[in-house]
Amino acid sequence: MIQLQNINFSYHKGRTIFDDLSLSLEGGHIYGLFGKNGAGKTTLLKIIAGLRFPKSGSSTTLGQRAALRKAEMLKNLYFLQEEVYVPAISIRDYVKCYAPFYENFDNEQFEEYLHLFEITSMDDKLTALSHGQRKKVIISFALATNTKILLMDEPTNGLDIPSKGIFRKIMTMAANEDRLILISTHQVRDLHCLIDAVVILDNGHILLNASADDITDKLCFKITDDTGTDEPILYCEENLRGNLLVTENIHHIETKLDIELLFNAVMLNKERINELFNAKN
Amino acid sequence: MNTKNIFNLIRRYFIESGRKDITTFVLIVLTITLISFFSVSGSISDSLMVFLLFLMGVVYAGRIFNIFQPVGRAIHYLTIPASNIEKTIANGILVYIYYNILLIVALLLGNFLGGMAHKLLAPEFHYIFYMPFSLDNLILTLVFESIFLFGSIYFKQHAAIKTALVLLAFFLFFIILDTTLVGSYFIHSNPESIKEAENVFNNINGDLIEYTVSILAFIFFNFMTWLRLRETEA
């Protein structure tokens, strides 16, 4: 669904953001996109949506050159921004304005999501809502468009604690076998149980692009009282519960993916991770 | 190109900005009513009104895209599922057709109301219903609107003012060039060749050239608008 090949990108006077970056993403997954501040996560989402043009390389989204921003592509892609922009109209009018552009928009779904987020009045003006409430409306709208690709930039920023739980619930409802959801975030705990594939960006390259199953097949995440293990340790962090470890999964033990530990392990062992996952970059 | 997308874009505009336009319309009608009421002879007020409407038309064109600030607005607009050509056409329809009709209706209505009010207070006053628009005026307005439409996607901030300044600079340059060249021609030419040049100019069909240049400029600036929208990033 998304193919980036040998992408080079830099802002006019700034440093290089992507250097020969290649990435392929398929439908039926919820990808988590991670990277340090300034790694280029938002820029990557923008290139996929055709909002930024790479200096060289090709960016293909749904079989179309993304930079052309053709209607056929945009009908099947929704880009949820971190700071959502809303016009000064009611929720009802927003739906009247924008739903006709999306062939698969489902009003019942939209109302159900709003109901779950406890937004009851469709006549409230969007600009009169708080940042968090605006975000809930736009998240509900984005999911109800039923586009094949959904790009989300820090979707849980601005949501209160109960809303983050509701967000996970509706994301699970909205995900399906055809849909590709790419979530860029720093809030790994918010989306832990949602994400089934991980993409890690660093210094203009993709360090890791693997499914959760593949990761837990090759790496082991555990808590122990000591660090005594025969498996090579990639990362160790002490906390009140004991030592949090990421090791190579030599004995094929089944453990639960911890994205935060994974991220730190990847950052500390770039070459080894590359060897383990046979990443092309 | 999908006409449904163009329709949806225009519909979106009316839902988002319709109320603002109604307020503007009422204010224009009131202004023209007042000008019309207080003016005795038509000529000065006609020119003033036509100029005001021309100004409103180009300022509207110069603000129609208005997508760059904040960045979120640009992302929002550029990801609306319609192609760049559909977005250009939808804005073109709003600028060239909708807003001009709105202004003409406001002018006629304001004129009529002003005239009627005048007649109520001074029964001897003969109200003349007139249309101070000519084809030349309309073509000139469309050309300027197409330039300002391009300016609205070219400049990221204060597009209408910047476009006006660029135009002013261009006309000043043109006047200086024209004065210098023509002046130099007359100084260095003998009376016969000047007369010959006058004959050539007199035989040229000025209207045809004017219309052709205007149409070409109109097409050119709309094409440039589409190109600029295509390469706009957010």
* pLDDT at residue B91 in the model: 96
Average of per-residue pLDDT across B98-120: 87
**Residue A137: which of A170, A161, A178 has the closest Cα?**
A170
Given A203, A223, A238, the domain boundary residue is: A203
A218 and A199 in a common domain: no
Given A186, A203, A220, the domain boundary residue is: A203
Average of per-residue pLDDT across B72-77: 94
- B15 and A81 within 8 Å at the Cβ level: the answer is no
Q: How many alpha carbons lie under 13 Å from residue B9 in its C-beta half-sphere?
A: 27
A218 and A187 in a common domain: no
More confident residue, B191 or A151: A151
Please say whether the dihedral angle defined by the alpha carbons of residues A64, A65, A66 and A67, taken in this order, is positive or negative. Answer: negative
* pLDDT at residue A167 in the model: 94
B125 close to B51: Cβ distance less than 8 angstroms: no
**Residue B54: which of B122, B135, B140 has the closest Cα?**
B140
In the structure encoding, which two tokens stand for residue B118, read together? 């005048």
A90 and A137 in a common domain: yes
Average of per-residue pLDDT across B19-34: 91
* pLDDT at residue A281 in the model: 45
* pLDDT at residue B40 in the model: 60
Most confident range (mean pLDDT) of A271-275, B67-71, B180-184 is A271-275
Most confident range (mean pLDDT) of B9-23, B61-75, B131-145 is B9-23
pTM: 0.87
Q: How many alpha carbons lie under 13 Å from residue B93 in its C-beta half-sphere?
A: 14
A47 and A124 in a common domain: yes
For residue B86, give the chain A residue with the closest CA: A71
In which domain, by residue range, is B83 found? 3-230
Residue B6 CA to residue B9 CA, distance in Å, equals 5
A5 close to A57: Cβ distance less than 8 angstroms: yes
Residue A31 CA to residue A143 CA, distance in Å, equals 16
A255 and A236 in a common domain: yes
* pLDDT at residue B132 in the model: 63
pLDDT in tens, A37-47: 989 999 999 99
Give the pLDDT band (50/70/90) at residue B214: very high
For an interface test with A, give the residue of B15, B23, B77, B88 to mutate (most A CBs within 10 A).
Answer: B15
In which domain, by residue range, is A98 found? 2-203
Give the pLDDT band (50/70/90) at residue B75: very high
More confident residue, A113 or A231: A113
Chain A residues close to B2, C-beta within 8 Å = 71
Q: Show Cβ contacts of residue A102 under 8 Å, excluding neighbours closer than 6 positions.
A: A75, A78, A145, A146, A147, B81
A115 close to B109: Cβ distance less than 8 angstroms: no
pLDDT in tens, A100-159: 999 999 999 999 999 999 998 999 999 999 999 999 999 999 999 999 999 999 999 999
- Name the least confident of A90-99, A176-185, A242-251, B89-98: A242-251
Kindly report the nearest CA distance between residue B218 and chain A, in angstroms.
24
Chain B residues close to A81, C-beta within 8 Å = 72, 75-76
Residue A245 clears pLDDT 70, i.e. is over it: yes
A60 and A91 in a common domain: yes
- Name the least confident of A17-21, A124-128, A263-267, B124-128: B124-128
A175 and A270 in a common domain: no
Residue B174 CA to residue B57 CA, distance in Å, equals 24
A69 and A118 in a common domain: yes
pLDDT in tens, A188-230: 888 888 899 999 999 889 999 999 999 999 999 988 877 677 7
Given A203, A237, A258, the domain boundary residue is: A203
Most confident range (mean pLDDT) of A25-34, B33-42, B123-132 is A25-34
Kindly report the nearest CA distance between residue B82 and chain A, in angstroms.
4
A267 and A129 in a common domain: no
Residue B112 clears pLDDT 90, i.e. is over it: no
Most confident range (mean pLDDT) of A55-59, A274-278, B171-175 is A55-59
Q: Show Cβ contacts of residue A180 under 8 Å, excluding neighbours closer than 6 positions.
A: A1, A2, A25, A26, A27, A28, A29, A31, A148, A149, A150
- The tally of domains found in chain A comes to 2
A240 and A158 in a common domain: no
Q: What is the mean pLDDT of chain A?
A: 92
Average of per-residue pLDDT across B89-117: 91
A256 and A169 in a common domain: no
The beta-carbon neighbor of B84 closest among A69, A78, A83 is A69
